[in-house]
């Protein structure tokens, strides 16, 4: 081995594992053959394959992760042939798909290499990555991944992992396929939908427990169940829509009412579950992939470009630019108004979207009044600039749904208001977070009839 590249290969091995089996050494040697300096080639390989590998549990998976290690038990495994694309010299290949689980959840996976195990076996995967498919996170095992069969470990048995897990609503997420839960029905309605050319009746609503809320849909009748019912759901399917989990009740799902005696031992009642959610810290929202029907409060620290008067496509509702929709081409746009703001409470920040109804309330101007301002100022940015002057620094509370993307937390507001908390109360809370010395200063100044701000 060339003495100049040996140290770099050793470092890559420590960071990425067996270079021969993963094909990484071949990648490195290819760069060297193209006269790339060894240290530059090493950095290129580390960037490509993620550098230091993290050991994760299935509950930790999120979109677009690279180069991590995971151990799980195979719950399901299948294979299908993949035909080569026309005009390529590649032969046919096989794609292996299934479900992998550990004690924290389960995940769909796909592999372009045959796995060293079958249903029930425990496997360890190094240099895995994730992608999003049909609104779900999928574990991907590529050519550079290293997969090994592990001796039966401390993971739960196949029968335990195959069954539906009992979870609180706050713990249900993208990694769940089938769950059991106990919750209270706080919203309940029927609607007719067209399914395969036939009218079907669908029940939809919202479930709540002491930890949070989630929407649900039932494709079967739920006799005797209405708003206020506390129900046990077994084997519900979890579906994802725009990053938000939804509880789906199917023919195979068992639903029963919780009796009065058992309900006494639960940590929630209908009265407590139906109360408006109290504002939580933005850092708590940032720590989760999604949250349904939550509230937060903070200061508007920025009003983002794209706020103000916009035009939408009459067909799909997308924002159009210069009279063109990216899907429907040249269209006659419909006027609308929105606000995109950054809300910060000192623990974190998030992007909040206010649709027209809330934008008019928060701004204090209707769409028609905003249009008059735009026309009188003869500037398409007049409303945006006026929004910045009016909203920046204001303290607001919002309620709605939050979901995480590669750009951070996106919060779609459904309600907005100015909290009734007195300014002095918030000042005391801020000083408490700063430390006891500041609280003492506040107390001294309060005794003299004033508020001390450092």
Residue where a domain terminates, one of 131, 160, 189? 160
The answer to which of 77-81, 146-150, 160-164 has the lowest mean pLDDT is 160-164
For the chain, the distance separating the N- and C-terminal CA atoms, rounded to the nearest angstrom, is 65
**Domain-located, residue 442:** no
Residues 316-351: tens digit of each pLDDT? 989 998 889 988 999 999 999 999 999 999 999 999
What size, in residues, is the chain?
Answer: 454
pLDDT for 34-60, tens place per residue? 878 887 787 777 766 655 568 899 888
d(CA 22, CA 145): 6
CATH number of the domain encompassing residue 189: 2.40.50.140
- pLDDT over threshold 90, residue 19: no
Whether 293 and 405 map to the same domain: the answer is: yes
Asked whether residue 453 is domain-assigned, the answer is no
The whole-number average pLDDT for the span 286-298 is 92
Does 96 lie in the same domain as 59? yes
Domain boundary among 240, 273, 306: 273
The secondary structure element, H or E, covering residue 395 is strand 395-405
Residue 428 placed within a domain: no
Would you call 445 helix, strand, or coil by DSSP? helix
Is residue 258 domain-shared with residue 217, that is, in the same domain?
yes
pLDDT in tens, 114-147: 999 899 999 999 888 898 877 778 899 988 788 9
User: Cβ-count burial of 248 within 10 angstroms (0-12 exposed, 13-18 middle, 19+ buried)?
Assistant: middle
Asked if the structure places residue 404 within a domain, the reply is yes
* pLDDT band, very low/low/confident/very high, at 426 (cuts 50, 70, 90): low
In a domain, 28, yes or no: yes
Determine the structural domain holding residue 22 and report its residue range.
Answer: 6-52
Query: Does residue 360 lie within any of the structural domains?
Result: yes
Q: How far is CA 165 from CA 107, 118, 234, 237, in A?
A: 14, 23, 9, 11
Tell whether 440 is covered by a domain.
Answer: no
Q: Model confidence at 453, in pLDDT bands (50, 70, 90)?
A: very low
Same domain, yes or no, for 73 and 146?
yes
Tell me: do 332 and 309 sit in the same domain: yes
Q: What is the pLDDT of residue 448?
A: 38
Q: Where are the alpha helices (DSSP H) in 34-93?
A: 38-49
Partners of 337 in the β-ladder: 309
- Mark whether 48 and 60 lie in a shared domain: no
> Does any domain span residue 443?
no
pLDDT at 273 over 90: yes
The token pair at 446 is: 């309060």
Co-location of 20 and 135 in the same domain: no
The verdict on 218 and 235 lying in the same domain is yes
**CA gap 307, 17 in Å, rounded:** 48
Helix boundaries (H) for 170-264: 260-263
Residues 327 and 382 in one domain: yes
- pLDDT of 210-232, one tens digit each? 999 999 999 899 999 999 999 99
Pick the last residue of a domain from 273, 300, 320: 273
| 63 lies in the same domain as 47 | no
- Residue 92: predicted pLDDT: 58
Domain count, the chain: 4
DSSP state of 319: B
Task: Say whether both 239 and 341 belong to one domain.
Answer: no
CA–CA separation, 243 vs 366, rounded Å? Answer: 31
CA atoms of 201 and 69, how far apart (whole Å) = 45
Where does the pLDDT of residue 446 fall: very low under 50, low under 70, confident under 90, or very high at 90 and above?
very low
Examine the domain organization and report whether 227 and 203 are in the same domain.
Answer: yes
């Amino acid at each position: 081995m060339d003495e100049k590249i040996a140290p770099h290969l050793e470092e890559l091995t420590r960071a990425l594992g067996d270079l021969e089996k993963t094909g990484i050494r071949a990648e490195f040697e290819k760069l060297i053959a193209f006269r790339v300096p060894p240290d530059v080639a090493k950095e290129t390989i580390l960037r490509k394959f993620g550098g230091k590998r993290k050991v994760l549990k299935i509950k930790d998976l999120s979109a677009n992760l690279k180069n991590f290690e995971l151990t799980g038990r195979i719950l399901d495994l299948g294979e299908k042939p993949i035909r080569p694309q026309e005009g390529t010299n590649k032969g046919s290949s096989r794609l292996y798909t299934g479900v992998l689980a550990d004690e924290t959840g389960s995940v769909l996976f796909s592999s372009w290499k045959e796995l060293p195990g079958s249903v029930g076996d425990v496997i360890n995967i190094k240099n895995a990555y994730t992608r999003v498919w049909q609104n779900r996170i999928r574990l991907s095992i590529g050519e550079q991944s290293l997969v090994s069969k592990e001796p039966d470990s401390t993971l739960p048995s196949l029968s335990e992992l195959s069954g539906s897990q009992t979870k609180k609503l706050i713990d249900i997420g993208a990694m769940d396929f089938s769950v059991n839960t106990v919750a209270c029905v706080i919203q309940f309605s029927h609607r007719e939908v067209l399914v395969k050319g036939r009218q079907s009746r669908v029940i939809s609503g919202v479930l709540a427990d002491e930890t949070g809320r989630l929407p649900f849909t039932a494709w079967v009748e739920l006799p005797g169940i209405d708003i206020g019912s506390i129900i046990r759901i077994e084997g519900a399917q979890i579906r994802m829509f725009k990053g938000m989990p939804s509880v789906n009740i199917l023919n195979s799902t068992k639903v029963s009412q919780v009796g009065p005696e058992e309900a006494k031992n639960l940590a929630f009642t209908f009265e407590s579950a139906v109360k408006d959610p109290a504002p939580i810290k933005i850092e708590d929202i940032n720590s989760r992939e999604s949250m349904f029907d939550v509230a937060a409060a903070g200061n508007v620290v920025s009003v983002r470009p794209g706020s103000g008067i916009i035009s939408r496509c009459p067909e799909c509702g997308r924002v159009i630019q210069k009279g063109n929709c990216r899907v429907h081409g040249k269209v006659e746009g419909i006027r609308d108004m929105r606000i995109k703001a950054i809300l910060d409470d000192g623990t974190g920040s998030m992007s909040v979207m206010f649709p027209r109804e809330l934008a008019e309330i928060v701004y204090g101007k209707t769409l028609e009044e905003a249009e008059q301002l735009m026309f009188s100022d003869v500037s398409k940015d007049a409303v945006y600039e006026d929004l910045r002057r009016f909203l920046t620094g204001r303290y607001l509370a919002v309620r709605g749904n939050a979901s995480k993307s590669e750009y951070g937390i996106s919060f779609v507001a459904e309600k907005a208001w100015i909290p009734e908390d007195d300014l002095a109360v918030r000042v005391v809370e801020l000083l408490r977070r700063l430390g006891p010395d500041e609280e003492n200063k506040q107390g001294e100044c309060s005794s003299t009839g004033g508020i001390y701000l450092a």
